[in-house]
Structure 1
Amino acid sequence: KEIYKTSRLLCTITGISVQPNKAIVGENAFAHESGIHQDGVLKERTTYEIMTPESIGLTKSRLVLGKHSGRHAFSKRLEDLGIKLNKIELDKAFVRFKKLADIKKEIFDEDLEVIVEDEIAKAEEVYKLEYIQTTTGNQTLPTATIKLKKGKQIIQDAGIGDGPVDATYKAIERITGIPGKLISYSIRAVTGGKDAIGEVVVKVSFNGELVTGKGASTDVIEASAKAYLNAVNKVAGKTKVKRVKELKSPRV
């Protein structure tokens, strides 16, 4: 049970690192990324491990969530994080996970938490972001082209602004016809690295009503668009419900 600790001590003394793929003591020795391997290990560990991590001083096997991971490994990691979702929520979160996994090599726990939070907090999608393209530069007028889907209708328009985010918000406003005033904008990197998820939170005033919107993506502009659209959808959803109630109310 001291093999792993001894190996790390030797690395410290000699200054020579152990290759990740080194048998038994390498970083990937008890790491599983393939979906079928993860599913097998979760059902019966000895299927792919002839010895246990505990026998060399490690606590447990490591499931590396990536593009090859399946639903079983995904739901197990959420369970380990204490996140409980119903089947519909899990299906939606898994779709988001697979899209992110195509961009990022490894998905961290913080990424999963943002994915789940983003799905649960999502308002009814009256408008859904289909496409976004921005151009900007120190000698170029920032422009954003946006495609939104409303029901079966695809609507496209463009906007210009003081920057790509401002141009994006103006394009969304032109399409939806819902004017809003941006009160606050904040962004944070959920994890480290150049492929980290950026989470944007905005507060927008719609006719005096302050609405919060959230969006996340590895692309900052896309995350900004999703956050603003999240706020717009909350307002559009209320307007839609109000209109339905008006239509259903008895005529005098």
Structure 2
Amino acid sequence: MDKVALSPHNPRIKDAKVIVYDSTLRDGEQTPGVAFSREQKIEIARLLDEARVHQIEASFPAVSENEARTLKELCSLGLDADILALSRVMKSDIDAAVDAGVDLVLLFVGTSDIHLKYKMKKTREEVMAMTVDALDYCRSRGVPASVSAEDTTRTDLDFLMEFYRTAEQNGAARVGVTDTLGCATPEAIAAIVERARKEVKVPLGLHLHNDFGLALANAFAGVKAGAAAVTTTVNGMGERAGNVPLEQFATGLKYLYGLDIGIDCTKMMGLSETVCRHSGLHKARNHPLVGSNVFAHESGIHVAAMLNCPLTYESIPPESVGNERHIIMGKKTGVNYVKKRLEDMKVQASDEEAAEICRRVKELGERNGRVGDQEFKDIVDQVIVKA
């Protein structure tokens, strides 16, 4: 029997090479109130590397001297993943990244009119010149650079294309589409990527926020349109509503779109739990794929079917993302599962006794929400009187 049971109507993404550059240690840490220690960053970086994440955006080293020191240590770990660092189009920022030993500098600069006027306080021409100078400086320091247009999705499209062309002409290894406020739709992301692919030959990256809950959908739309790199974070943590969740993006590409990008999805649960512990952030029980409820079942109809074939109510097995299946006993428990539990306990019971046990389980479940193992055993002992 197949190990997964997915819709045959899902489109397939063929022959695409997609790089994940995970930003848990940078944008993820920009979640208000989160500050990873040096040891925590090293542990998370190692876990990302073990999961075969291609690139790790490890830091914004201009933040502090301690941040720069930690970045340098991360660069010296000998990980298979490339180590990236964020940088403004400023020599001091670039120096902080290059001196730490990064493999790629992630340059960013605001390009929307609102950013130019109120944040950058620069003209389009001035920002373009600053970007060219920054690329020249990265080249002089011997490290490749990508260039992202901050607030891409509110940037004038013609100017955006001119910005990308200029970046490419001046040596950018990649150009980035940044939905800084998470306010674009999948159709908008696809349109920008399609237009950019006609204008430049260098790969396009996506950095997408989740303010409208569309980051994951936008990532898929961008990849289908030809984007070659996507920023993720574990559990989707990050500024405001966060970013594209690593576990959902990698697993979704593999199982929904038929595109295995080489990431070990079985490591996702361990990564998720570690990041929760170190960040102090708690994920919802129904968090997709790595939540405690995702492979938990109580409904008698569902459980009865799953006892015959788990694929009836699980499109992928829980171990494919490192999660576990849980059958919960409560008010919706059916007699078939009661009989299965009795069989596992090697307890013989008549149909009438099994029905009575099920009735009491439901009754206790209505009062307490769920019935634990010991409570179930107590009910069994009460109903089945041993000779």
TM-score in terms of structure 2 length: 0.30
TM-score in terms of structure 1 length: 0.45
Tell me which protein shows more helix as a share of its residues. 2
Tell me which protein shows more strand as a share of its residues. 1
RCO (CA 8 Å, sep 6+): is it higher in 1 or 2? 2
Larger Rg: 2
